[in-house]
Chain A
Amino acid sequence: MKSTGKVTGIVSNLVTVETNGPVAQNELCYVTCGDTRLMAEVIKVTGKYAAIQVFESTRGLKNGNEVEFEGKMLEATLGPGLLSSSYDGLQNDLTTMTGVFLKKGEYTKPLDETKLWDFTPTAKPGDNVVAADWLGEVKEGWLPHKIMVPFAFKGEYTVKSIVPAGQYTINDTVAVLTDESGEDHDVTMTQKWPVKVAIKGYREKPRPNRIMETGVRVIDTLNTIAEGGTGFIPGPFGCGKTVLQHAIAKQGDAEVIVMAACGERANEVVEIFAEFPELIDPHTGRHLMERTTIICNTSNMPVAAREASVYTAMTICEYYRAMGLKVLLLADSTSRWAQALREMSNRLEELPGADAFPVDLSAIISNFYARAGMVVLNNGQTGSVTFIGTVSPAGGNLKEPVTESTKKAARCFYALEQNRADKKRYPAVNPIDSYSKYLEYPEIREYLSEKVGKGWAEKVEKTKNIIRRGKEANDQINILGDDGVPMSYHDLFWKSELVDFIILQQDAFDPVDSLTPMERQEYMLNLVLDICDRDFKFEDYEKCRSFFQELINILKQMNYSEFRSDNFNRYREQLNNILNENGK
């Protein structure tokens, strides 16, 4: 029998309940409020009192109201139909809700239970299977969506029967499995999984060994992210976090993209709703929306569901990873999730850590990042979850708990900088402070040398060095004056400006410049490095400036032109002429 209880205290969405039976940490429950039932989660138990966080507004809630415990944790519903869906943080389908306003206590089903899917069995009776093994597949858009042995099944099973190819709904039994004790279990195309628990069911989790292209030069060229890797983008407001994330979502070379809009602006999600169905995935030519799932818990939606939203998103990613797919998770912003934890910790009157955040913040963040990664499945195929989160540091100060905790957990760091944003040098990723640990991996360096260009990693280091030396030269020029430094300082400075304008800066709103495939990035970097390798002679620093400005202007026009088009080639020729005139 399920436990029940009665409300005894209310502070905003923290509610204390006197229970009459056993309850579990993180157990789901429903609180009666007027004629609605509000979903809530147990977050602390003291004696017979459970503290629960309600995922909705508690306005009108009274002491003495009934609470029913569900005997399970918050779960995600997994199955075909997740892609191109839009959910709130608790996986309610936003598209099937009625009315313009969100109604308190209105919960909708995540998956269409009437839709027929073309199921093709891949397992046969007599096969021995374990959790996460593939039994069959349906076509979800263009993706082969595997129907798997439910993750919750423990031990070995034998396939007793499996339905023939045909049309089935997600709740139809498609296979019957017999466990070791001889008991039969029905398997449908849908299963549930508690969001706060990582989905296992793979053989091993090797180090990432290949890159994930994003089409963004400052990431791909300078600090590449590995497939199955983790990265984060901290930045003050107005530095272009969201524009950068959207660019990655549009262009990322992944088969499935899950976007978790966590405590951010609703209009940013609307932008995705409005644009993605129109946009074409540059890698497959299909509509972007077909590969995208949106989990959106915007800043005005209930705070407690914010935390749930990132876990729901990660669970969906892990589900697709188990099908051997390349999945990319983008979460904007993990700071809002941390703030939700802080609000709750505060109401629980826990002793606070730094900036009033809970003391276990760091552990929570690193546990979450650890769920990403590349895995080798039981059948030897690979799947991956690449995770890029944004962080919104208070006051733009990177020495705050969320940024610091994330820095320990994520392998790539893309620091957005106010100064660059002020100068409209977008994307405003600081080229010197940012890093990718993956560039140190021998397997990644080898991959780059083979797939992108020989000695690519060395070229990247050389480029970073040009930027660094240019900055030093600029500092000297600023201290000593244009006349006070040798001409070589101007030369160094302008070469770094060349790299900055042509490689680092990218116009996210230009149809051509916004997406740069790796081949083109290689071409442009070689071109720029070739110029940087040349010795130029200038009469004075004014000549140096105007010469480089001219080069930058032509190279920018190249960035705006289709790769190897007539226009592109014409600018390339112009560039050659100038270089031949002035270079030695």
Chain B
Amino acid sequence: MANKAFQRVYTQLEAITKATVSLKAKGVSNDELATVDGRLAQVVKTKGDLVTLQIFAGTEGIPTNAEVAFLGEPPTLKVSDQLAGRFFNAYGQPIDGGPEIEGEEREIGGPSVNPYKRKQPSQLIPTGIAGIDLNNTLVSGQKIPFFADPDQPYNNVMAQVALRADVDKIILGGMGLTNDDYLYFRHEFENAGALDKIISFVNTTEQPPVERLLIPDMALTAAEYFAVDKNEKVLVLLTDMTLYADALSIVSNRMDQIPSKDSMPGSLYSDLAKIYEKAVQLPDGGSITIIAVTTLNDGDITHAIPDNTGYITEGQLYLRADPDSGKVIIDPFRSLSRLKQLVIGKQTREDHNQVMNTGVRLSADAQNAKTKLENGFDLSDYDLRCLDYAKEYATRLLAIDVNIKIDEMLDTAWELFGKYFTKAETGIRQDLTDKYWRQS
């Protein structure tokens, strides 16, 4: 992004807001990069000769006579195998003290895959966590966020999932990470001895929020290089997408756009979709899987950010603390993996689908029993059995500290069904109960 010869330089700004500057300039193209007083900026609007630039690092201290130089191209990332094992900032510059990357310069935020050329995702990604593998199975090429309150250990779970997943590359896109979390990820990756397959693009809370807008596109451009050019299985981690959306609203606000729900820009859905839809199973074996984090405000999933996310992603994994078992669990009711049907019973045992549904339904019965209990009513024998079941179900299967194989998860579920219920109460298809029922 260094200055180039023969570029046009302007020194007269017409307007400055907290995130944008405007000036009169000619021959400027949409989305083009520029530097304003040395800071990187991007063209977001032109009207006649008046050009509006969004300044990633903010406009603090920019004078009206700042030097503006147009670079003639949209943001790019240099891609090559040298990316592996490295840490970068939002502009794709190394922050680990290593050398600059040599490679092909690619525009970030490039075109979409032709939907007709996509392949149907079909490879299960085992995580060892039963709340995921049993109830919300992940599939490569999927896009799925963790919905979690800020006090939940979402980054830890995500790091665990990433390190257990059988993938060729893990790409971390950190937006507004606290420095502590950034160091945590770095530490975990180094400890796992997996550093050579990990690439990180990080914007911490110490850095300007608008810079975050570049992170997902940077991470996904790198992901596309490995998935498309090298046919590799790539897992992209994006945390925290709520902070990304907040940055979007800052920019749209400074551009005087009319906000829609929750002061988010009207284009929030399309903006998020452009990122998440980069998840893909490619015809030649490469794939991009996206696991993201969307932090919630007190569990409110009707807020525009989680709401739009839910409509875009292929399910969501909902983390919450379970008071009965005292563990952090993957909520069995609100969590969902939309692609699980592609692998359940196909790459897993035939009883998976019915065991999964029954397990959750009985847990719902326990919720009803709990409501009755809270309202001061006597509980029936069935209610009591449901409550006992739910507690053991949460501890042995839903808790995020579980790490077992899928067959073992299924066997555990059958064991619980046999321990607390009759066959009729489970309502499972007879040929399956004949084969798997365990009386204890």
Contacts and interface: CB of A to CB of B under 8 A. Distances in A.
A355 to B, nearest CB: 6
A10 B25 CA distance: 14
Contacts of A58: 30-31
Nearest to B345: A509
30 contacts: A8-B48, A9-B45, A16-B47, A59-B30, A59-B74, A60-B31, A61-B29, A63-B48, A86-B115, A86-B116, A94-B115, A97-B116, A100-B283, A265-B314, A266-B280, A267-B120, A303-B267, A355-B260, A394-B308, A395-B261, A395-B307, A422-B334, A422-B364, A423-B361, A542-B380, A542-B381, A545-B380, A546-B425, A549-B425, A553-B424
Given A16-B47, A478-B371, A266 B364 contact: no
B273 interface: yes
B405 interface: no
B261 A355 contact: yes
Given A100-B228, A269-B115, A298-B115, A424 B48 contact: no
A304 B354 CA distance: 42
Nearest to A239: B336
A545 B376 CA distance: 21
Interface string A334-363: 001001101100100000100110000000
Contacts of B65: none
A424 B357 contact: yes
B12 interface: no
A266 to B, nearest CB: 5
Contact of A99 (B114, B267, B304, B430): B114
Given A238-B315, A270-B118, A300 B141 contact: no
B378 A483 contact: yes
B261 A266 contact: no
Nearest to A269: B115
Given A60-B74, A100-B228, A237-B310, A424 B113 contact: no
B380 A394 contact: no
A482 interface: yes
Contacts of A19: none
Nearest to A509: B341
B116 A343 contact: no
B112 A102 contact: yes
Contacts of B381: 542
Contact of A265 (B30, B31, B260, B277): B277
A556 interface: yes
Contact of B112 (A298, A552, A553): A298
A103 interface: yes
B249 to A, nearest CB: 13
A270 B310 CA distance: 19
B46 A63 contact: yes
Contact of B30 (A60, A99, A271, A352): A60
Nearest to A342: B266
Given A10-B45, A303-B267, A542-B380, A274 B112 contact: no
Contact of B424 (A61, A101, A392, A550): A550
Given A339-B270, A356-B259, A397 B334 contact: no
B429 to A, nearest CB: 6
Given A63-B48, A346-B258, A482-B377, 20 more contacts: A11-B47, A59-B31, A59-B107, A238-B336, A263-B273, A265-B314, A266-B118, A270-B115, A270-B120, A274-B120, A296-B115, A356-B259, A394-B302, A396-B307, A397-B302, A541-B380, A542-B380, A542-B381, A553-B424, A557-B430
Given A62-B28, A101-B110, A424-B361, A265 B45 contact: no
Interface string B345-385: 00000000100010011001000000110011110111000
Interface in B379-404: 380-382
A-side interface mostly: mixed
B141 A267 contact: yes
Contacts of A265: 277, 312, 314
Interface string A552-569: 110011001000000000
B418 interface: no
A95 interface: yes
Contact of B111 (A16, A103, A274, A478): A103
A271 B334 contact: no
Interface in A368-393: 392
B266 A343 contact: yes
Interface residues of B, number: 84
B30 A62 contact: yes
A140 B381 CA distance: 63
Nearest to A298: B115
Interface in B72-104: 74
Interface in B262-302: 266-267, 269-270, 273-274, 277-283, 302
Nearest to A303: B270
Given A63-B28, A299-B273, A509-B341, A356 B427 contact: no
Contacts of A63: 26-28, 46, 48-49
B419 interface: no
Interface string A389-413: 0001011110000000000000000
A481 interface: yes
A62 B141 CA distance: 36
A481 B142 CA distance: 45
Interface in B410-440: 424-425, 427, 429-430
B302 A101 contact: no
B164 interface: no
Interface string A471-491: 000000011011110000000
A571 to B, nearest CB: 9
B29 A60 contact: yes
A98 to B, nearest CB: 9
B316 interface: yes
B105 to A, nearest CB: 15
A552 B425 CA distance: 10
A468 interface: no
A336 B120 contact: no
Contact of B270 (A271, A299, A397, A483): A299
B434 to A, nearest CB: 12
Contact of A101 (B112, B269, B338, B430): B112
Given A62-B30, A267-B120, A424-B357, A553 B114 contact: no
A539 B48 CA distance: 84
A423 B115 contact: no
A58 B47 CA distance: 14
Interface string B305-339: 00110111011100000000000000001101011
Interface in B55-80: 74
B119 interface: yes
A58 to B, nearest CB: 5
Contact of B277 (A61, A99, A266, A296): A266
Contacts of A355: 260-261
B187 interface: no
A356 B334 CA distance: 29
Contacts of A8: 47-48
- B30, B45, B46, B375, most chain A CB atoms within 10 A: B30
